Amino acid sequence: MEKHAIIVVGGGPAGMAAAIAAYDRGVTDVVILDREPHLGGILMQCIHNGFGLHKLGQELTGPEYAAVYEKKVMERGIKVYYEATVTHVSPDKVVTAQSRQGILKFQADAVILAMGCRERSRGALNICGSRPAGVYSAGTAQKLMNCEGYMVGKKVVILGSGDIGLIMARRMSLEGAKVEAVCELMPYSGGLTRNIVQCLEDFGIPLYLSTTVAQIHGEKRLEGVTIAQVDERRQPIEETKRYIPCDTLLLSVGLIPENELTRACGIPMDPITNGALVDDICQTQIPGIFACGNVLQVHDLVDYVSEEAERAGIGAAELILNGAASGEAIPTKPGNGVRYVIPQNVRKTGNDVSLFLRVTQPFGKVKFTVTAGDQVLAVAKRLKAAPGEMEKITVKANMLENVTEPIVVALEEL
């Protein structure tokens, strides 16, 4: 069995950033296992721009952003196994992968999980009607168009206003398809505002809120969909039903962290994020196994994926170099208006700690307060807050010194 200090599962933006950070922190025996024949993960099909503004200070397309990190991986001589799909990770850090070379087994000192996420499928939505061809998850359509060069349809309805759906509305419009509508079940959009503007408004595509696809029609190929507004229980309202002829339905209805390996390893999970429970260095509750990027929580910006992965990479390297850090772990909890907080445990290590969270619904002006018992650890104000946009609040190291009670993040509307 091959032995390595750190095995990184996944060579997308998270895996690459984690591997580079671990290497730069002093652990050079790092190996990346990726299921694709190239690094970059899902970025390679995200040919639109908007990546890297925060992290790299320039606006790049997905493949360009990936190339920046790929170059760093290559420069460091980090070993990459391509087309090697990890099938099992054991709690004692034996990683099994299947590749054209055979079944590969590795013993690692630390494992960094960076498998990313998958799209919620039609099946999970229970949309009624028939099961024809032409119903695609938005990312699948994106791959077929941007990587393989095929059109998936000519007349399109999109369910869900997640960013991939919005990006695909523009992409298909640019390629000559007619996008009839984007329907969003919730009373607000799930995507970034900038995408609503430049992907829908620029092309005159209507966005219908509190609206769903109630039925799918067509025997062999999709012939149309019935859309309907929904009531407060999110059930279609009969009188509002309307038929739209189309040959394609794209689904952009949410991303799910791909945690099958994590669960099979017995790593405790957070039922809200669908990712592992982690501490401030992205370490799961099995020491030496880390999780970062979209497998930990679904991000809206790749820049934050890279940052999170760097914390995981540095954390894994320091664990190997210095052994487990001592320091009491304080749990974090979401308070009023907050859906979840990551990390779920914060150790007092003398470093500042960033908390990542999402709000429960759209708000106007808000004030976030981070407290532990009576003590206020941090305050942050925002002009607006929405579930589609992840918030980051940093707590200074000195504020954590005397904390004993759980850390709660809550918001109040101003």
Partner 1 sequence: MNFDVIIIGAGVVGGMAARELSRYDLSVCLLEKENDVATGASRANSGIVHGGYDPEPGTLKAKLNTVGVEMLYEAAQQLHVPCLHNGSMVCAFGEKEDPAVKELYERGQINNIPGLKILTGDEARAIEPNLSTAITSALHVTNAGIICPYDLTIAAVGNAMDNGVALKRNFAVSAIEKNGSGYTVTSAKGETVTGKYVLNCAGGYSDKIAAMVGDDHFTIIPRAGEYILLDKTEGSRVSHTIFQVPSEEGKGILVSPTVDGNLLTGPTALKVETPESRDTTPAGLEQVQRLAAKSVPSVNFRQVITSFTGVRSSEKGGDFIIEESKKAPGFVHVAAIDSPGLTCCVAIARYAVDLLNKAGLILTEKANWNGNRANPHAFREMTDDEKNAYIQENPDFGKIVCRCETVSEGEIRNAIRQNPGAWDIDGVKRRTRGGMGRCQGGFCGPYVMALIAEELGIPMETVTKSGGDSYMLTGRIGE
Partner 2 sequence: MERNITCIICPRGCPMTVKEEAGKLVVTGFTCPKGEKYAIDECTNPVRTVTSTVRVSNRKDTMVSVKTAAPVPKGKMMDVMALLRKTAVEAPVSIGQVVLTDVFGTEVVITKAVD
Residues in touch with partner 2 (CB under 8 A): 44, 47-50, 53-54, 59-61, 63-64, 67, 145-149, 174-175, 192-194, 196-198, 202, 300-301, 383-384, 389
The rounded distance, in Å, linking the Cα atoms of 37 and 40 is 10
Please report which helix (H) or strand (E) contains residue 380, including its range.
Answer: strand 375-382
Q: Segment contacting partner 1 (CB under 8 A): 61-69, 80-88, 316-324, 354-362? A: 80-88
Q: Is 144 in the site for partner 1 (CB under 8 A)?
A: yes
For the bound state, the minimum distance from the C-beta of residue 82 to partner 2, rounded and expressed in Å, comes to: 14
**Sole binder of partner 1 in the list 57, 126, 233, 239 (CB under 8 A):** 126
Place of tokens 């540095």: 314
User: Which of positions 256-315 make contact with partner 1 (CB under 8 A)?
Assistant: 256, 260
Please report which helix (H) or strand (E) contains residue 318, including its range.
Answer: helix 302-322
**Neighbour tally for 188: CB within 10 Å:** 13
Q: Which residues pair with 182 in a beta bridge?
A: 158, 207
* Strand stretches in 230-299, DSSP E: 242-245, 248-251, 255-257, 269-270, 275-276, 289-291
The rounded distance, in Å, linking the Cα atoms of 65 and 351 is 29
Q: Among partner 2, partner 1, none, what does residue 339 contact (CB within 5–8 Å per kind)?
A: none
Q: Is 152 in the site for partner 1 (CB under 8 A)?
A: yes
User: Closest CB to partner 1 among 218 and 335?
Assistant: 218
Q: Is 34 in the site for partner 1 (CB under 8 A)?
A: no
How many residues sit close enough to partner 1 to count as binding (CB under 8 A)?
51
Q: Where are the alpha helices (DSSP H) in 190-301?
A: 193-195, 260-264
Q: Segment contacting partner 1 (CB under 8 A): 53-61, 79-87, 194-202, 378-386? A: 79-87
Q: Among partner 1, partner 2, none, what does residue 312 contact (CB within 5–8 Å per kind)?
A: none
DSSP 134: T
The residues, any chain, with a CB within 8 Å of residue 160's CB and separated by 6 or more, are: 138, 182, 183, 184, 185, 190, 251, 252, 253, 254
User: Closest CB to partner 1 among 152 and 409?
Assistant: 152
Binding site for partner 1 (CB under 8 A): 35, 83, 85, 87, 96, 98-103, 105, 118-119, 121-124, 126, 128-134, 136-137, 139-140, 143-145, 147-154, 175, 214-215, 219-221, 236, 247, 256, 260
